[in-house]
Amino acid sequence: MKDADIHRVMHLIARWVPQFDDQPSVGIVAEKTHDPYLVLVSTLISLRTREEVTRRVMWQLFELADTPRRMVQLSEDEIARAIAPARYADQKARTIRTISQQLLHEHHGRVPDDLDALLRFKGVGRKTANLVLTLGFGKPGICVDIHVHRIFNRLGYVRTRTPEQTEATLREKLPRKYWIPVNNWLVTFGRNQCTPTGPRCSNCPVETYCEKVGVTTQR
């Protein structure tokens, strides 16, 4: 696609995704709570876990503890039971409790709104940190997961090998007004329309702009 077409492509995708009623779980938490801590915890739960599972178990945990102080009052086993059957529930429970302790001891119980500070927490990668910044604080950042990485490469807007390279490239060329919403749009779009295999190109709203890089079969 031509770089100049990015506004049209983003507009079409943004109008297309509401039909799926499939907003990412972290986006739902941000919209309902506006709480950076809950955005952080829900993101940690969602890693390598199906959205329908994350949507269910995150609220179960938040009913037990919705602040760092309340979270550390739970044992790792209690947290793990609350978020099961999320994948790696025991490991995630340990991470959530440890980070909650660090927030209390090092940040007065508040989630830092700085990328480097967030990345110092064990278990927090760039995807998680950027989601906290964008959805938790409304600060500029680009969260690149496998869907964002795949779709921008498939479109031909970027030509990168890793999500980290995609993030760096998008920071240079993607208009800033799309930085915060682009992850929510493309995660939903990637799960339902521009799927990893057999994307639904026949009724795709941006098919005429897409170079279909790497597409071997389509519907």
Q: Which of 132, 142, 150 is nearest to 180 (CA)?
A: 142
pLDDT level of residue 22 (50, 70, 90 thresholds): confident
What are the C-alpha distances in Å from 99 to residues 53, 56, 177, 215, 219?
Answer: 22, 22, 31, 40, 44
The model's pLDDT over 60-109, given as tens digits with 9 standing for 90+, comes to 999 999 999 999 999 999 999 999 999 999 999 999 999 999 999 999 99
The model's pLDDT over 173-196, given as tens digits with 9 standing for 90+, comes to 999 999 999 999 999 999 999 999
Can you give the pTM of this predicted structure?
0.87
Tokens of 91: 């490991």
Contact 154, 160 (CB under 8 A): no
